[in-house]
Amino acid sequence: MSNNERPRGLRRIQNIELSEDKAKFRFVLVIVFIGIALLAFGIFLSTMLTKDEGWYTITAETDYINCGSDFVFNYYVGSTEKDKTEEYRAVKKLYGELTVKGYRLFNRHDEFVGVNNVCYINNHPNETIEIDESLYKAFETILKNENRYLYLGALHSEYSANFFGITDPIFVEENDPKLNEEFREYFKKLAEYASDSSAISLELLGENKVKLNVSKEYLDFAKENEITVFIDFFRTKNAFIIDMILDELNRSGYKKANLTSCEGYVRNTDDSGEEYSLNLFDRESDVVYNAAKMNYNKAKSIVPLRAYPLSATDSYDFLICTDGRIITPYVDITDGIYKTATSDLIAYSESSSCAELLIQALKHYIADSLNEEMLFSMESNEIYSVYFENNEIRTNDETIDLSEIYEDDSVKYTIKYIK
């Protein structure tokens, strides 16, 4: 067969001309099908974008860097008189704006144009500075509790730089202040400055104005040692951001929500009687047990504190050394050494904000040992606690509702109510 011959079996192409009427009909069909497709797509989009009543996990989607990745935000659409779709959009927009605000206000590393934040205050000691009302309120809250945690900024920065977020502990574990005398003495000096009101103090001047007073001696020491952070919220930061976000949502009429931080701090503003639960973890002999589930049905703030990492993201807050010891972010202002009174402590309250609760709990948690009487004395402020001792769940809350209490062939948890 020559190259010019058609292969056998190949059907010939037939050119069939359509009449003008048939051509017009085909054009009409195309338009109809396009219309149907657009209508179907519109219905699909409408279905996807229209919100029904119920719970939604809302993420922060903004054009600016925000702190949304630190939180899980759940909101109940249908808790206002607004159209549900509009309510969802409004809450999502406001939440996004507030995560940007929180990221900027509590940032200790970076300044932002038009925002006098924590970093700005640190960079302008001994100056009167006007700040945002939310940040001013946070300072009021932490200072009214007679707590100098705020002034541990330099010490916390050293812990973060030297121990946390390190992929290979072998390169830094030798700097552990419990083992390294040079680091221990340096950290002790930082703790002395933090505890000395004549060396550093923050004045609240009213009308959202503050002044960070830093002595010449401390300023000279800071310059010599390249210290740039004098104050910082550190482990309390996300608790304050939780309160800021939920308080603003509440003022705007969006009252049925819960917000959880990466540390596990929870504030739930839902007072409808709906049931919630929280897993309670306990670490015994290097094994972490899901000891029980705490159930509740009222608006509540909950703060779990633990002396070990529970997830991969915790590597930014803890360091597990090659010999098994764990360097934690809980630093004692008396000597600059990290310490925890117990492995796990859970504090909760129906009347305290998340930040207020955390500040009180830290007073008992950052210690060489746990003073149970002092811990449970927080009940006078409507704060209740749970901790663990030898597989015993110890609490001062006689109304606590625990379920799924852990038990296997070798370990059995029991409940002990302490009056």
DSSP assignment of 115-156 equals B--HHHHHHSTTSEEE--HHHHHHHHHHHHTT--GGGGHHHH
Q: What is the pTM of this model?
A: 0.88
Average pLDDT of span 301-327: 92
pLDDT for the residue numbered 408: 95
Are 276 and 204 within one domain? no
Instruction: Please tell me the distance from the alpha carbon of residue 379 to that of residue 288, in angstroms, as a whole number.
Output: 28
Quick one: tokens of 103? 């990221």
User: With 90 as the cut, is the pLDDT of residue 409 above it?
Assistant: yes
pLDDT for the residue numbered 148: 94
Average pLDDT of span 160-171: 90
Given the DSSP bridges, would you call strands 383-389 and 344-349 parallel, antiparallel or unpaired?
A: antiparallel
User: With 70 as the cut, is the pLDDT of residue 161 above it?
Assistant: yes
- Which of 232, 254, 286 represents a domain boundary (last residue)? 232
| Cβ-based neighbour number of residue 18 at 10 Å | 10
CA 355 from chain centre, in angstroms, equals 12
83's CB contacts (< 8 A; 6+ apart) are: none
Sorting pLDDT into bands at 50, 70 and 90, what band is 303? very high
Quick one: tokens of 316? 């930014």
The answer to whether 294 and 346 have CB atoms below 8 angstroms apart is yes
User: With 90 as the cut, is the pLDDT of residue 35 above it?
Assistant: no
pLDDT for the residue numbered 83: 95
pLDDT for the residue numbered 33: 52
pLDDT for the residue numbered 37: 55
Give the range among 168-177, 210-219, 365-374 with minimum mean pLDDT. Answer: 168-177
**pLDDT tens sequence across 52-101:** 999 999 999 999 999 999 999 999 999 898 999 999 999 999 999 999 99
**C-alpha dihedral sign at 28, 31, 33, 35:** negative
Are 275 and 201 within one domain? no
CA 32 from chain centre, in angstroms, equals 52
| Cβ-based neighbour number of residue 130 at 10 Å | 11
Are 228 and 355 within one domain? no
Sorting pLDDT into bands at 50, 70 and 90, what band is 123? very high
- Which of the pair, 11 or 333, is modelled with greater confidence? 333
The C-alpha angle with vertex 169 and arms to 163 and 171, in degrees rounded to 5, equals 90
pLDDT for the residue numbered 188: 98
In a domain, 74, yes or no: no
CA 268 from chain centre, in angstroms, equals 14
The answer to whether 56 and 49 have CB atoms below 8 angstroms apart is no
The answer to whether 106 and 72 have CB atoms below 8 angstroms apart is no
pLDDT for the residue numbered 342: 97
- Which of the pair, 415 or 11, is modelled with greater confidence? 415
pLDDT for the residue numbered 1: 46
Are 398 and 281 within one domain? yes
Are 222 and 279 within one domain? no
DSSP H helices, 50-132, are 84-105, 118-123
Sorting pLDDT into bands at 50, 70 and 90, what band is 145? confident
- Which of 232, 262, 293 represents a domain boundary (last residue)? 232
In a domain, 99, yes or no: no
Quick one: tokens of 216? 């010449």
The most confident of the ranges 6-10, 15-19, 48-52, 397-401 is: 397-401
pLDDT for the residue numbered 140: 97
In a domain, 349, yes or no: yes
User: With 70 as the cut, is the pLDDT of residue 43 above it?
Assistant: no
Are 287 and 197 within one domain? no
**C-alpha dihedral sign at 65, 66, 68, 73:** negative
Quick one: tokens of 408? 């296997």
In a domain, 324, yes or no: no
Instruction: Kindly state the DSSP code that residue 309 receives in the 8-state scheme.
Output: -
- Which of 217, 232, 247 represents a domain boundary (last residue)? 232
Place of tokens 């995560």: 99
Mean pLDDT of the chain: 90
Sorting pLDDT into bands at 50, 70 and 90, what band is 171? confident
Average pLDDT of span 113-133: 98
Are 124 and 194 within one domain? yes
Instruction: Please tell me the distance from the alpha carbon of residue 52 to that of residue 49, in angstroms, as a whole number.
Output: 10
Instruction: Please tell me the distance from the alpha carbon of residue 346 to that of residue 280, in angstroms, as a whole number.
Output: 8
pLDDT for the residue numbered 315: 77
User: With 70 as the cut, is the pLDDT of residue 23 above it?
Assistant: no
| Cβ-based neighbour number of residue 131 at 10 Å | 19
Given the DSSP bridges, would you call strands 71-77 and 257-261 parallel, antiparallel or unpaired?
A: antiparallel
Are 218 and 358 within one domain? no
Are 195 and 277 within one domain? no
pLDDT for the residue numbered 34: 54
Instruction: Kindly state the DSSP code that residue 316 receives in the 8-state scheme.
Output: G
CA proximity to 291, closest of 184, 200, 408: 408
What's the structural domain count of the chain?
Answer: 2
pLDDT for the residue numbered 3: 39
The answer to whether 278 and 300 have CB atoms below 8 angstroms apart is no
pLDDT for the residue numbered 96: 98
Name the CA dihedral angle for 90, 96, 98, 101, rounded to a multiple of 10 degrees: -140
Task: Report helix, strand and coil shares of the chain as percent, to nearest 5.
Answer: 40, 25, 40
34's CB contacts (< 8 A; 6+ apart) are: none
CB < 8 Å & 24+ apart, contacts of 377-383: 378/347, 381/349, 381/351, 381/352, 382/349, 382/350, 382/351, 382/352, 383/347, 383/348, 383/349, 383/352, 383/357
Are 275 and 218 within one domain? no
In a domain, 116, yes or no: yes
The C-alpha angle with vertex 250 and arms to 245 and 252, in degrees rounded to 5, equals 100
In a domain, 21, yes or no: no
In a domain, 351, yes or no: yes
**pLDDT tens sequence across 182-208:** 999 999 999 999 999 999 999 999 999
User: With 60 as the cut, is the pLDDT of residue 10 above it?
Assistant: no
Sorting pLDDT into bands at 50, 70 and 90, what band is 49? low
Average pLDDT of span 128-146: 95
User: With 50 as the cut, is the pLDDT of residue 209 above it?
Assistant: yes
Instruction: Please tell me the distance from the alpha carbon of residue 67 to that of residue 58, in angstroms, as a whole number.
Output: 13
User: With 90 as the cut, is the pLDDT of residue 233 above it?
Assistant: yes
State which residues form the domain around 369. Answer: 271-307+342-419
Are 285 and 416 within one domain? yes
Place of tokens 């070798």: 410
What percent of the chain has pLDDT above 70? 88
Instruction: Kindly state the DSSP code that residue 113 receives in the 8-state scheme.
Output: T
Quick one: tokens of 36? 């149907």
In a domain, 320, yes or no: no
Are 112 and 209 within one domain? yes
